[in-house]
Amino acid sequence: MKLFARDYQNITADEKELEREIRNKYTIQLGKIKAYNSNMHREFPKAIRHHNSLFPNNYLDPVDLKDETKLKVLNQQFLKTIEDRETIETDILKFIKENRAYHIIGSIFSEYSFGHHDAYLFREFQLGNSYQVEYLLVGKSSDGYNFIFIEFENPYGRISLANEEFGDVIRKGLSQVSDWMLWTEESYSSLSESFEKETNNQLPKEFYRLDTSRMNYAVVAGRRNDYKEKTNNDVSI
């Protein structure tokens, strides 16, 4: 489930000292109140940014998005992969995992109104002993955390039929999503236990109390030109 080679739940004594120095640099004491400059977070080393997050080993660090040269190369390599008509969903998942191209999954947040305050990505996330979610995004907005369970399917299978109904690839993905939806409604406490293993902090209430309006599901399949007008209108869950 961890995304990175390093365990960011633990930091060194030198890193802790550097954190203190940066906090002092960007802190203003106003009577009994401490005010922190908004630049402080970006000044922290990467290990500190991860360590201070809710899920250190699953944190999508926005500072990484500033390396535009690296991201451009990864995007070009990814496009070459998916343009190969022999590519299947496992090839896509392998590319993302081996290249740690997690911004590709994180881009799904652009379709939602959360994830801009805080964002996390879990790979191969277990739903008890029943199911494994290929990727799970957790994003925060002003009203708290929301979840996106993601299923990848074949990019070159039958996406839509001549009558513009869903093809077998999409129906397969939707069937998997239906199983996840039922599981989360029946076993949400088990989901909370999985999240607890990934943090040293107290989890917000959204992780303990089921709110179906916060649960979102996405099936990733096909290419843009595979989707007809009716299919596009029916694609949200």
Q: What is the pLDDT along the chain (237 residues), one digit of tens a residue?
A: 679 999 999 999 999 999 999 988 888 877 777 777 777 888 899 999 999 999 999 999 999 999 999 999 999 999 999 999 999 999 999 999 999 999 999 999 999 999 999 999 999 999 988 899 999 999 999 999 999 999 999 888 777 676 667 788 889 999 999 999 999 999 999 999 999 999 989 999 999 999 999 999 999 988 777 776 544 544 444
CA atoms within a 13 Å half-sphere pointing along the CA-CB vector of 35: 5
Looking at residue 235, its pLDDT comes to: 46
**Structural tokens at position 59:** 């944190």
In 3D space, the residue among 127, 80, 82, 75 whose CA is nearest the CA of residue 102 turns out to be 75
Per DSSP, 87 falls in state -
pLDDT at 162: 65
**How far, in Å, CA of 189 to CA of 130, rounded?**
14
**CA–CA separation, 181 and 177 (whole Å):** 6
Note whether 124 and 58 are within 8 A (CB): no
Give me 124's structure tokens. Answer: 């191969």
Residue spans per domain, the chain? 1-52, 55-233
Strand (E) or helix (H) holding 172: helix 168-186
Give whole-number Cα distances, 168 to 150, 162, 227, 234, 237, in Å.
18, 13, 13, 15, 17
pTM, 2 dp:
0.89
| Short-list 133, 114, 235, CA closest to 184 | 133
CB atoms within 10 A of CB 56: 25
Virtual CA dihedral for 190, 193, 194, 196, nearest 10 degrees?
160
Q: Which helix (H) or strand (E) holds 154?
A: none
**pLDDT value, residue 170:** 86
- 219 exposed, middle or buried (CB, 10 Å; 0-12, 13-18, 19+)? buried
Specify the pLDDT at position 228. Answer: 64
Enter the DSSP assignment of 8: T
Q: Please answer whether residues 166 and 182 qualify as being in contact, where contact means their C-beta atoms are separated by less than 8 angstroms.
A: no
Q: Please state, in angstroms and rounded to a whole number, the distance separating the CA atoms of residues 237 and 235.
A: 7
Which three-class secondary structure state does DSSP give residue 148?
Answer: strand
Going by their DSSP bridges, the two strands 215-220 and 144-152 should be labelled as: parallel
Going by DSSP bridges, is the β-strand pair 131-141/144-152 parallel, antiparallel, or unpaired? antiparallel
